[in-house]
Amino acid sequence: MKFGYARISTKRQSIDLQIRALKKENCDYIYQEEASSKEERHELEKLLSYAREGDTIVVWKLDRLARTMSELLNILTDLEKRRIMLKSITENIDPSTPEGKFFLHAAGMFAEYERNIIIERTNAGLEAARERGIQLGRRPGLTEEGKKTARLAANLYTKSDLHVKEICETLNISTSTFYIYLKHENIAKLNKLGRPRKDKSKGKRY
């Protein structure tokens, strides 16, 4: 089967352009949703869970599929292992071709670069905090220093592909403290592969 996926970030945007393009690709079913870069994408989760070997997923542009290069690489690698094809209408990318494999390799390099930059900046921020006399790590309550650590934890969680364990090791905090920090920063739990929890389908069959 051929599945389409369309996403807009706000109600002010129109999804019609994407839907028309996906219809021209003769998609059997189109998953569509409204979700910003920080929100959970229930329809994408259902699509990735439902697709099987031999199926094809079609998107208008790759940025509809992933928030970051790291996340995109993870999704593409997962689809390749499951023998699920992906087609980007605008970029004309097919991972089964030599050009598509080159794109995956280049994406991996950029993802690693992005990851290293985030870690480097975080470590620099931690070192600067220590030089100012700020003690990082687990605390009985959220003092001013704890609030700063909470902001660092939230930033790593939402803007990188680091797992929770890696973030906790970087900041020298426990998992329970990490989730206390997320709650303090009003950050909802996300799936790092961009596969959030289940919800009612908003897709349409064509």
pLDDT recorded at residue 68: 73
110: exposed, middle or buried (C-beta count within 10 Å: 0-12, 13-18, 19+)?
A: middle
Rounded to 5 degrees, what are φ and ψ at 3? -115, 135
At 198 the pLDDT is 39
pTM for the predicted model, two decimal places: 0.52
User: Of the residues 9, 36, 174, 176, which is catalytic?
Assistant: 9
| Most trustworthy range by pLDDT among 27-31, 41-45, 61-65, 99-103 | 27-31
Domain residue spans in the chain?
A: 2-103+193-205, 105-184
CA distance 57 to 173: 39
Q: What is the pLDDT of residue 203?
A: 61
Residue 174 has pLDDT above 50, yes or no: yes
Question: How many CB atoms are closer than 10 A to CB 141?
Answer: 6
Average pLDDT of the segment spanning 121-125: 79
- Lowest mean per-residue pLDDT among 20-34, 75-89, 105-119: 105-119
CATH homologous superfamily for the domain 2-103+193-205: Resolvase, N-terminal catalytic domain (3.40.50.1390)
Query: What pLDDT, in 10s, does the model give residues 34-89?
Result: 876 567 788 999 999 999 999 999 999 888 888 777 777 788 878 888 999 888 88
Mean pLDDT of the chain: 79
Known catalytic residue: 88?
A: no
